[in-house]
Amino acid sequence: MLTENQLIDSICEYNPSTNKVLINKAFSLAENAHQNQKRISGDPYISHPLEVAKILTEYKLDDSTIITALLHDTIEDTDLTLGEVKKQFGAEIADLVDGLTKIGKLNLFTKEAEQAENFRKLILAMSNDVRVLIVKLADRLHNMRTINYLPQDKRLVIAKETIEIYAPLSGRLGIQSLKEELEELSFEVINSKARKVILEKLHSLASDSSELISGIQKELSKEILKHKIKFSIEGREKKPYSIWHKMERKSISLEQLSDIYGFRIILNSIDDCYRIIGIVHQKWNAIPGRFKDYISTPKINDYQSIHTTILGPENNRIELQIRTSDMHDVAERGVAAHRNYKDKSLDKEKHTYPWLEDLLEMLEQGESSEDFLENTKLELFQDQVFCFTPKGRIIALPPRATPIDFAFEVHTDIGMKCIGCRINGINSPLYTELLNGDEIQIITDEKSLPPMAWEKIAMTGKAKLAIRRINKEKIKNQYSELGKEILDKHIKVYAKVKKIDNMKDFCSRFGLNSIDDFYSKVGRGEINHEMILKAFSKLKILDNSEEMNLENDIQVNGLSIPVRGFDRNIPFRFAEDSRVVPGDKIFGILDSDSGIIIYSKQSKNLNKHGKDVNSYIDLTWDIDNSLTERFTARIMIDCKNQVGALAKISRAIGLSNANIENLKLVSRSSDFYKLDIDLGVYNLSHLNLMISSVRKLPVVHRVVRVMD
C-alpha cells in the first residue's frame, strides 16, 4: 500500500516548496476518520484517498487539490464535519471538499430522474471550481482500477457510467491520458472479448512492423536534422478502445485502419512547427483531407497541435502530430497544466472553458434534468467542425451540424430569430451539413420563432433544448390566449357583468393561484364550459335567462373552442379537399345535418355557405395533439425538365421530415414540369420550412401552396 511519505515524495518532485506539514495534517485527519473502515478488497479505507492523491500528483496538482483528495470522503462517510475542515484548512479547501461531498453519492445509472439530478449537481459543483471535477475523475480512475472486487452486474453499471460521462468529461478538460485509461478500463469490463482480439492483433502487427516503425522514425529524424531544428520524436500506438470505436463508427475492419501507428514531433517554437510541416510535405506526399491545424484554431479543451497524414517511406501512411513542448504538456495534462488557475475569478474560469459555459446555459434552459443529461451526453461525445462568422469569429460545432446549430452557438437570441442563412455567400437551406472552414451568415427576423421541426434538424444539445423550450412556451401561450378569449366570450354571453373584478379569487375557485395557469387550462379544455358557468353561478353573476338551456349555447357565434378536445357531442369533420394543417386560421360551419364542418379561412368554398355569420364558429387548433399527427397539404411546383430534378425535390422534402403522400404530373414541356404534390406535415411551420427548402433548389422555378 502507498504510504504518506511516498505521496509527499511524489509531490516534491514537481513542487519542492509543497507544504509538507499541511499534507501530513490532512493525511492524519483522514486516517483517523477512516480508521475503522475497509474497502471491499479488504484494504484499509485510507488506501483509497492516498491513491487518489497520488493520481493527482501525476498531473502536478497544487497542495489544495491534493489535500481535498485526502479528505474527499470524510464528510460523507465519517463523523468529521465541514466546519472542522474549514477551521483546520481554510475556506478554499472546505469549499472543494463540500463540492465533492454534494456529488459524493453520484450514481448516474440509477433511476432516470435521480441519475439526471445528480449529474446537474456535478456540473454545478465543477462550475464553481473545476478542481472538484479533477478530484472526482481521479476518484473514479482509482475505483475503476479496483473494480474487479465488485460483482459483475455492478461492474457493468459503473463501467457504462464511466465511458458515457467521466471519460468524455476528461476529454473536455484535455486530460488525454486520464481519458484513455478510463476508456480502456471500461472497455475491458463492457466488451472484454473485443478488447482481447484487438490487443492480439496489435501484438501481431507490432512484431511484424517493429523494424518498419524504427525505420520510419529514423527517416523522419534524418530529414529534420538536415535543417538544424531541435526536436524529439516518439512513436505511439492507438489504444484498443480508440481503435474499436473508430471501427464501429466507420464500419471497417482492423486491417482497413491506416493510422494505428503515429508519431509525435515535439519542438521548441510555433515557427518550428510550421517549418516541419513544410519539410515533411516537400519530402513526402500529404494525404488530402487529413491536414488539421489546431495551433491556429485550438480545440474546445485548449488542445493545440498540427495533424497531418503523409505517404511516407515505403508508401506507408503515417500520421504525424506536430507541437511545441508546452502544447504537449497541455495535450497530456489538460487543465491541470494551467498552474495559475486557482487565482482566477469564477467569471474568468468560465471563459477559460466555453464548453462549461454552454453546459450551464443548457442547465438553465432545460425543462427537466433528463433533457439536460441526454443532451449533455450528445455534447460530450462530439468532435469538432470549425466554421466562421462574417466577421471572422470561429465557431466550433459537432460533425453534421447545421446552420441552426451555428445560429444558437453564436447566441441563443440569434437562433431564436433565425429564418435563413448564406453559406460562403450562397443562399442555402437550414438543414445543410456544415463543413470545416464554411463562413455562415445567419438571416434573422425579429418576429420569428423556431418551429418544432428544427429540433430534429439540430445536432447540438444547446440548440435542441432551446427549440424545445421556446415551443413549449409558445404552445402554453397559445392555450393561455385562447383561454382568455374563451372566458371573455363566456362573460359577454352568460354573465351579468362586463368583467370579473377579482380574477385571483375567481382562479382560486378552481384550485389555481396563477391567472396564466387558469387561462391555459381553459384553453386546453381542462376547465370546460359547465365548470365556468358553475363558477359564474356561485359568484351570482350568471344571467338567469341563460340557465334555461345551456346545451344550445355552444352554437353562439364566436365561441372559440379547440378543434380537438371540445366535448359537446357535436360531430365534426374537415371539409372535403380542405387540406388545412395546424396553424392555418380555421372556421367551423354549423350544419344541421353534418354537425361542424371545418374550413380554412382562405377557402373559396366558404362562399357556398353565404354570409350568415350566425352559422360560423371561430375554431382554434389543439396544438399538442397536432404535433404527433400528420396532416395533408398540397403544393404546386414548377421545376426544370432535367435529369435528377425530381430526385433533388424528393430529397429536400425528405430531409425536411415531410412525407410525400401523392404526386401528380400536371403538365410537361421541353423546359419545365408542373407537379402537384400532397405532403404529410405536422403543422403550418413545418410546411413553410419544407417549402423554403424546396424553393432554394436550383432546379425549382416556383413553389405555391394549393388550398381547395
Which set of grid coordinates corresponds to residue 61? 496538482
Cα-Cα-Cα-Cα torsion 335, 338, 341, 343, nearest 10 degrees, comes to 170
Q: Greatest CA span in the chain, whole angstroms?
A: 105
Q: How many other C-beta atoms are found inside a 10 Å radius of the C-beta of residue 691?
A: 22
Tally DSSP H helices, then E strands, for the chain.
29, 20
Residue 77 among the catalytic residues: yes
For residue 692, the tally of other CB atoms under 10 A from its CB is 16
> Hey, what long-range contacts does 365-371 have (CB within 8 A, 24 or more apart)?
365/412, 365/462, 365/465, 365/466, 365/469, 366/465, 366/469, 367/465, 367/468, 367/469, 367/472, 368/116, 369/113, 369/116, 369/117, 369/119, 369/120, 370/112, 370/113, 370/116, 371/465, 371/468
Asked whether 336 and 60 are in contact (CB, 8 A), the reply is yes
User: Measuring CA to CA, which residue among 366, 343, 450 is closest to residue 404?
Assistant: 450
Q: Which of 31, 43, 58, 77 is catalytic?
A: 77
- Active site annotation includes 76: yes
CA nearest neighbour of 404 among 466, 468, 457? 457
Q: What are the beta bridge partners of residue 658?
A: none
Grid cell 495534517 is found at 25
Residue tagged active-site, from 76, 516, 591, 624:
76
Give the list of residues 6+ apart from residue 294 with CB closer than 8 angstroms, or none. Answer: 303, 304, 305, 306, 307
User: Please, what is the angle between helix 82-89 and helix 91-102, to 10°?
Assistant: 150
Q: Which amino acid is present at 581?
A: V
Residues contacting residue 555 through CB under 8 Å, at least 6 positions apart: 590, 617
| Cα–Cα distance measured from residue 438 to residue 451, given in angstroms and rounded to the nearest whole number | 25
| DSSP, residue by residue, 424-455 | TTEEE-TTPPP-TT-BEEEEE-TT----TTHH
Please give the helix or strand (H or E) that residue 10 lies within, else none: helix 4-14
> 4: which residues sit within 8 A by CB, 6+ positions away?
24, 27, 50
Where does residue 220 rank: exposed (0-12), middle (13-18), buried (19+ CB within 10 A)? buried
659 dihedral zone (left: phi>0; alpha: psi -120 to 50; beta): beta
By annotation, the residues acting in catalysis are: 76-77
